Chain A
Amino acid sequence: MEKPKIEISGLNKKFGDLAVLKGISLSVEAGSVVAIIGPSGSGKSTLLRCINLLVTPDGGQIRVGEDAFTFGPGTKLPGTRDLARFRSNTGMVFQHFNLFPHMSVLGNVMEAPVTVRKKSKAEARELALALLAKVGLSDKADEFPARLSGGQKQRVAIARALAMQPDVMLFDEATSALDPELVGEVLGVMKKLATEGMTMVIVTHEIAFAREVADRVIFMRDGIVAEEGPAHQVIDAPRETATQAFLSHFHRGGHHQTAETAP
């Protein structure tokens, strides 16, 4: 069998006295989709941000593709250049989009290929236009982010990340900041990426989406992996009581239950 695309073992992270990740291990096969679910504050974002080293772990090992890092006492932290090169191979999509407001949609997508990869403007432009077509936003290339809907912004953010032609895409609650009617268009793009064989790690509250698109689901609670398995098994027949309790907050449709609709 091929070795996994992402391998993490014994990952620890503390913020001050607060232990946020406590010995997390996980692996992601090339071309597969892993969804991370769990209550707010359980460390999902921190784990995701450790995978591209936006957060530096205190201990443990991370390997993405050929790049491996060990963290802990006595180990040297990677320098800024190594970090930048490493991150350029992983794409990340944020809950609040974080588009560059002073650049057009096209400028946002062209920025990293030109600045980091030193592609020519023409080449970057061609790539950016192709990616905007892929996310269904060819007609918005010259708009500025402020004039887009949330769903459009997030699709631009996905195109921007894809422009670096990453091996791995990380999504941190990509649809949580969106109006309900705009969630579908972003999930649609993510699903398309998954079927094209992109390796993806998705933090999400869209349980139905995780069940449909993810190969494996990880349930996190208090900084540990409380349950892990094939998506259908974890979501339809969770073994752990904590997972059962968490999933009981969601409708069968996968939407988070609100106070009004709760029984």
Chain B
Amino acid sequence: MYQWDFAFLWSYRWLFLKGLGVTVAFTVGIVLLGLVIGQLAALAKLSKWAPLRILSHTYIELFRCTPVLVQLVWFYYALPVLSGIEISAVSAAMLALSLYGGSFYAEIIRGGIVSIDPGQTEAGAALGMTPFQTMRRIILPQAFKRMVPPLMNQSIIQFKNTSLVSVLAVPDLLYQGQVAAHDSYRPLEVYTAIAVAYFVILYPLTILVRKGEEALARND
């Protein structure tokens, strides 16, 4: 029988905390950037201008249909060769994960917008509102309520995806775990502790999302 011993982990607490800080900061960054990209891509896909629609569609499908790990590695190793611009591991990871998340956010946002009764757009137009005013005042506020739970779900996935940046040696929680595991020769305890840390953060969030979904179902 394996003799579990978690006590030694305490001596790595600052390392883990630093890693967790990087993970959280990274998540915040890619969620915010991803939402901006997703919003733009969603509006582009709803544009009446065909080239914009095609561009957005191509981006969304490209990023949804390739593994995020491949994207991460591609941005770090292949992009500099193609563009001739050196790119740091953090920038490459940030870019790849934001674009990846953005492609999913875009479909959630677009879905939320088109789920609103076309009669709402017509009512706005009939009152003399411009398409922009109708989108901002009438459509988005209604669509946003429906989008929040799926956007949060996707952001939870993004939180977990940040663990992939460790392959580019970005010092996130998992990367620091690897350091601790090598150092202590006790990978079992280290990786278990890391799994628990992710779970403790994400499980309450999933409950929050479920509550939100239930409230939405009651209102509709």
Chain A residues within 8 Å of B, Cβ to Cβ: 52, 54, 80-81, 83-92, 94, 96, 98-102, 111-112, 115-116, 160-161, 164
CB-contact partner of B122 in A98, A99, A161, under 8 A: A98
Q: Please state if B131 and A80 are interface contacts (CB–CB under 8 Å).
A: yes
Task: Give CA–CA (A80, B133) in the complex, Å.
Answer: 11
Q: Is B24 an interface residue (CB 8 A)?
A: no
Min CB–CB distance A89 → chain B (angstroms):
8
Q: Which of B92-100, B137-145, B148-156 contacts A (4 or more CB under 8 A)?
A: B137-145
25 A-B pairs with CB atoms under 8 Å apart are: A54-B122, A80-B130, A80-B131, A81-B130, A84-B125, A84-B128, A87-B125, A87-B127, A88-B128, A90-B126, A91-B126, A94-B122, A96-B119, A98-B117, A100-B120, A100-B138, A100-B142, A111-B127, A112-B127, A112-B128, A115-B133, A115-B137, A116-B128, A161-B126, A164-B128
Query: Counting CB contacts under 8 A, is B209 at the interface?
Result: no
Within 8 Å by CB of A116, from B117, B120, B123, B127, lies: B127
The answer to whether B127 and A98 have CB atoms under 8 Å apart is no
A111-B137, A115-B137 given; A98·B130 CB < 8 A: no
- Note all chain A residues with C-beta closer than 8 A to B179: none
> Chain B interface mostly helix, strand, loop or mixed?
helix
Q: Complex formed: what's the CA distance from A52 to B123 in Å?
A: 12
Assembled-state Cα–Cα distance A94/B130 (Å): 19
Which residues does B use to contact A, with CB under 8 Å?
117, 119-120, 122-123, 125-131, 133, 137-138, 141-142, 145
In the complex, which residues of chain B have a beta carbon less than 8 angstroms from the beta carbon of A92? Answer: 126
**B128 adjacent to A87 (CB under 8 Å):** yes
In the bound assembly, the distance between CA atoms of A200 and B189 in angstroms comes to 78
Roughly how many angstroms separate A83 CA and B129 CA in the complex, as a whole number?
Answer: 9
Report which of B119, B125, B129 forms a contact with A115, defined as CB distance below 8 A.
Answer: B129
Contacts of B133 in A (CB 8 A): 84, 115-116
- Among the listed A84, A86, A89, A94, which residue makes an inter-chain contact with B119, where contact means beta carbons less than 8 Å apart? A94
B136 CB to nearest A CB, Å: 9
Bound CA–CA A111/B141 (angstroms): 14
A86–B128 alpha-carbon span in the complex (Å): 7
Instruction: Tell whether, in the assembled complex, residue A87 and residue B126 are in contact, meaning their CB atoms are under 8 Å apart.
Output: yes
By a CB distance below 8 angstroms, the chain A residues around B131 are 80
Q: Report whether B120 and A98 are in contact in the complex, using a CB–CB cutoff of 8 Å.
A: yes
Given A102-B142, A115-B133, the answer on whether A160 and B122 have CB atoms closer than 8 Å is no
- The residue in chain A whose Cβ has the minimal distance to the Cβ of B126 is A92
Which residues of chain A are within 8 angstroms of B130 by Cβ–Cβ distance? 80-81, 84
Cross-interface CB contact of A98 among B123, B137, B142, cutoff 8 Å: B123
Contacts of A160 in B (CB 8 A): 127
Cα of A209 to Cα of B122 in the assembled complex, Å: 27
A156 → chain B closest CB, angstroms: 12
CA distance A94 to B117 in the complex (A): 13
Residue from the set A81, A85, A100, A160 with the largest chain B CB neighbour count within 10 Å: A100
Bound-state CA distance A94–B133 (Å) is 20
Task: Indicate if the CB atoms of A161 and B127 lie closer than 8 Å.
Answer: yes
Taking CB atoms, residues of chain A closer than 8 Å to B145 are 102
A110 to chain B, nearest CB (A): 11
CA distance A91 to B131 in the complex (A): 17
Which of B123, B129, B138 is A94 in contact with, Cβ under 8 Å? B123
Distance from A154 Cβ to chain B, minimum over Cβ atoms (Å): 13
Complex: A164 Cα to B123 Cα, angstroms: 13
- A-chain residues with CB within 8 Å of residue B125 when the two chains form the complex: 54, 83-84, 87
**Interfacial chain B residues near A112, Cβ < 8 Å:** 127-129
List the A residue with the shortest CB-CB distance to B144: A102
Q: In the assembly, what is the distance between CA of A67 and CA of B194, in Å?
A: 69
State in angstroms the CA–CA spacing of A92 and B141 once bound together: 23
Chain A positions within 8 Å of B123 at CB level: 94, 98-100
Within the assembled complex, what's the spacing in Å between the Cα atoms of A101 and B120? 9
Provide the residues of chain B in CB contact with A89, threshold 8 Å.
128
Tell me if A102 and B117 are in contact (CB < 8 A): no
Nearest CB in chain A: distance from B219 CB, A:
9
